[in-house]
Structure 1
Amino acid sequence: MLAKPSKAYSDILNDRSAFPLAIFARDAPSVVKAQVLAGGRGKGKFNSDGKGGVRIVSSPKEAFESASNMLGYNLTTKQTPPEGLLVNKLYIYKSVDIADEFYVAITFDRDRYMPVLLISDDGGVNIESNASRLQRFWFNLYHGITPEITSYIQAQFGFSDKEMAPITHILHQMVKLFREKDATLLELNPLVRTPDHEFFCLDAKFNFDNSAKFRQRELFALEELEPGEEDEYQAAQLGLSYVRLEGNIGNVVNGAGLAMATNDLVTLCGGKCANFLDVGGGATKETLSKAFDILQRDTRIKGILVNIYGGIVRCDMIAESIVSAASAIGGFKVPVVVRLQGTNSEKGLKLIQDSGLDNLVVEADFDQAAEKIVKLTETS
């Protein structure tokens, strides 16, 4: 990894710890890659010099110039937002002579309920436009890649017996990783063959099952968040389910079904929800405080609808938590409509009414609550 240059160029040349040693092999070109959570970097463009996110450099000076136009600037690709992603890290490695590029991946075929190995001899930056050339090999996760499959791969792609040894090893290691780490996608692109018939993986993309976080704690501890995902991550740490939407009305509900119904009703009333935030059955002062804090930091939000059905959780406890949470965050900055139904709902609504909090409205009826928050949002 390479940090943003802060020294004068002459100082950096004299301090080789500032760059990987490969950069200083003047007779061996190196590759500089922007490290962002998106594909298509090679064909992308920086807002600094219009060049791509993967560059070949042949000298320390050229490396410094490239790094200066990459670090701290936005890279736009087909997989990034229109404004691109900020590049704070670079990866530098020695350049490799390439004879052939292959695409190799393992994922799940959900139609067949089994994993599938995907291989193409047209890997690299054009794989998405040449997906029709992918060869598919379905296999049993327990047995892995069998000799029959490797024999077919050798015949299909013309690998020699000597070349099949590293290819087979790579495939077996991919299956092992896929199985042991609860992966949903392992993608090597490109896996290249050199003129000397050696194989190198020049880039890779791995996806893992979010439902397996409890089994893969060390793995998920390495996760880097995409821009805008910080709130979702913080909410998940407290057991909240948060999804950012495009509107200006924040929602706090308990239950995914109630969240979808609330979103639909707000839309029917002429509003648009800014989020899906499910506090679940374990709503507490801590979780509600965090929920309100997340919503109040969102500058798009002009109003909040709290829609809670008290079954597992009592409505009076929810009301106490709302009042405590409001005090903890210094009160509500936008109008908040609270609708409580279920166990002790009347007691809960009275607790909120008697709290004396500003910007807080109670409404027992679902339709009326949705209409009120839409109107309050329009006038705020």
Structure 2
Amino acid sequence: MNLHEYQGKSILTKYGVPIQNGYAADTKEEALAMYDKLAEETGSGFAVIKAQIHAGGRGKGGGVKLAKNRDEAQGYINDILGMQLKTPQTPGGMEGPGKQVNKILVAEDAYAPDFDACKEYYVSILMDRARKQNVIIHSTQGGMDIEAVAEETPHLVHKTYIDPELGMQPFNAREVAFNLGLSGTAFKNMTKFIYKLYAAYIGADAALIEINPTLHNANDEIIAVDCKFSVDANALYRHKDIAEMRDKTEEDAVEVEAGEYGLNYVNLDGNVGCMVNGAGLAMATMDIIKLSGGEPANFLDVGGTADAERVEKAFRMILSDEKVEAILINIFGGIVRCDRVAQGVIDAYKNIGDIKVPIIVRLQGTNAVEAKQMIDESGLNVRSAITLQDAADVVKDVLS
């Protein structure tokens, strides 16, 4: 589950990680009041107005602005709050529809008092699944796209792996500070920063914490200026406070709806809708579609109770995607009987009405023969298949 910058920073502060202070607001009046409050606290009219959306590259789309006085702050607040922000990471990139900004962060100018003396670094923590270890990725090239840095200057991207049995050790933190070229007070503060950041990563069951930029200011302080924070959704039962931070408006509406019905749905870019029971079978189904020349439009696991209601809901979600040109239903009847699934497909088809795209159904397992007969005799625009390859070949045929 992704968090907004201000939410991620609120978690970091609980672990003592120094952050760029600020206040979140969702109305223009509240945002201006937060600017006044911040100006009184800092004694400066400088403030950064930041759009809060689940996407990076906000500055490239005009979603991050430095205001030097109250009038500028008010202007930027008016411009950013409610705007349709397009970044390289929003759906469709800079040419796509973007995301609406419903909340902004009014933050202090962390680069004061000497901007030229400040240095920016990149620091992130995530799981390296191949090595089965957490890794701290860090670079002196902060404030830039780490993908571009890795491609163009890979020697500037460093990785420090953490032994899962030992956990974070002093030499790990010192290695990061050394790779970033720090010394003296800044070196000590960076090691403390890394220690606390890793504690937040472990304590919050995070999947990713990315601080870009991590700021080294003129006073040798190390500060988290930005924060991308993602939490392992499987661990949210241990973090009720973090679970309450979920912003459904930032998520795909169909995926949110699917979750409410107990369906596992992920929207993709292809043209073949998939309805499968079981994650492994769903992955195999998508593979065979690609091998047959198609592209899966979604990942959809209806689970072990593929009754008429769930099948109908799954149908409607798949059909809401205008790119879908065919639907492949692939069900293995172990716990659930295939004839019940077939009846669910038939009932759902009739309830929905006129379905324009062809439907291919492959049912294997308990009562599979009876299920195929039911599909074949239904009189509906539904074609049955026996093997997975047969189903993929039918999909290829109807798309050609």
Does the pair score TM above 0.5? yes
Mapped contact 2:177–2:191 kept (Cα < 8 A):
no
Distance in 1 (alpha carbons) for counterparts of 2:191 and 2:395? 61
Distance in 2 (alpha carbons) for counterparts of 1:151 and 1:297? 52
Q: Helix, strand or coil: the match of 1:242? A: strand
Percent identity over the alignment is 33
Residue number among 273, 277, 302 corresponding to 1:250 in the alignment: 273
Q: 1:95 is aligned with what amino acid? A: D
The 1:114/1:376 distance shift into structure 2, 3 A limit, reads closer
Q: 1:92 is aligned with what amino acid? A: V
Distance in 1 (alpha carbons) for counterparts of 2:125 and 2:263? 31
Q: Helix, strand or coil: the match of 2:94? A: coil
Mapped contact 2:173–2:195 kept (Cα < 8 A):
no
- Structure 2-normalised TM-score? 0.74
Name stretches of at least 5 consecutive residues in structure 2 with no aligned partner: 1-23
> How far is 1:264 from its partner?
5.3
The equivalences for 1:234-313 within 5 A come to 234-256=257-279, 258-263=281-286, 266=289, 271-313=294-336
1:293-328 deviations in Å (ceiling 9; x for gaps):
211212222332222232232111212322343455
Distance in 1 (alpha carbons) for counterparts of 2:176 and 2:34? 43
Aligned to 2:108: 94
The more displaced of 90-99 and 163-172 is 163-172
Aligned to 1:31: 48
1:78-133 deviations in Å (ceiling 9; x for gaps):
43323252241321112121423233333334454333334444422365526533
> Between Structure 1 and Structure 2, whose CA radius of gyration is higher?
1
Q: 2:46 is aligned with what amino acid? A: P
Aligned to 2:124: 105
Q: 1:297 is aligned with what amino acid? A: S
> How far is 1:337 from its partner?
3.1
Q: Helix, strand or coil: the match of 2:265? A: strand
The equivalences for 1:130-209 within 5 A come to 132-141=155-164, 143-150=166-173, 157-161=181-185, 163=186, 166-209=189-232
Distance in 1 (alpha carbons) for counterparts of 2:86 and 2:382? 43
> How far is 1:38 from its partner?
2.2
Distance in 2 (alpha carbons) for counterparts of 1:258 and 1:65? 53
Distance in 2 (alpha carbons) for counterparts of 1:173 and 1:39? 23
Mapped contact 1:263–1:273 kept (Cα < 8 A):
yes
Is 1:123 matched with 2:142? yes
Q: 2:132 is aligned with what amino acid? A: Y
The equivalences for 1:210-249 within 5 A come to 210-216=233-239, 218-224=241-247, 229-249=252-272
Distance in 2 (alpha carbons) for counterparts of 1:83 and 1:283? 39
Q: Helix, strand or coil: the match of 1:281? A: coil
> How far is 1:29 from its partner?
0.6
Aligned to 1:22: 38
More helix by share: 2
> How far is 1:220 from its partner?
4.2
- Structure 1-normalised TM-score? 0.77
The 1:323/1:155 distance shift into structure 2, 3 A limit, reads closer
Is 1:58 matched with 2:68? yes
Aligned to 1:82: 94
The 1:158/1:170 distance shift into structure 2, 3 A limit, reads closer
Q: Helix, strand or coil: the match of 2:58? A: coil
Q: 2:359 is aligned with what amino acid? A: V
1:184-222 deviations in Å (ceiling 9; x for gaps):
332222222332333332111223334444545543443
The 1:246/1:87 distance shift into structure 2, 3 A limit, reads closer
Residue number among 335, 338, 345 corresponding to 1:315 in the alignment: 338
The more displaced of 92-101 and 212-221 is 212-221
> How far is 1:278 from its partner?
2.7
Mapped contact 1:241–1:277 kept (Cα < 8 A):
yes
> How far is 1:62 from its partner?
1.4
Mapped contact 2:176–2:191 kept (Cα < 8 A):
no
Aligned to 1:49: none
Aligned residues: 362
The more displaced of 318-327 and 55-64 is 318-327
Q: CA RMSD in A?
A: 3.7
Distance in 1 (alpha carbons) for counterparts of 2:160 and 2:69? 43
Higher RCO structure, 1 or 2 (CA under 8 Å, sep 6+) = 2
Aligned to 1:8: none
Distance in 2 (alpha carbons) for counterparts of 1:288 and 1:377? 23
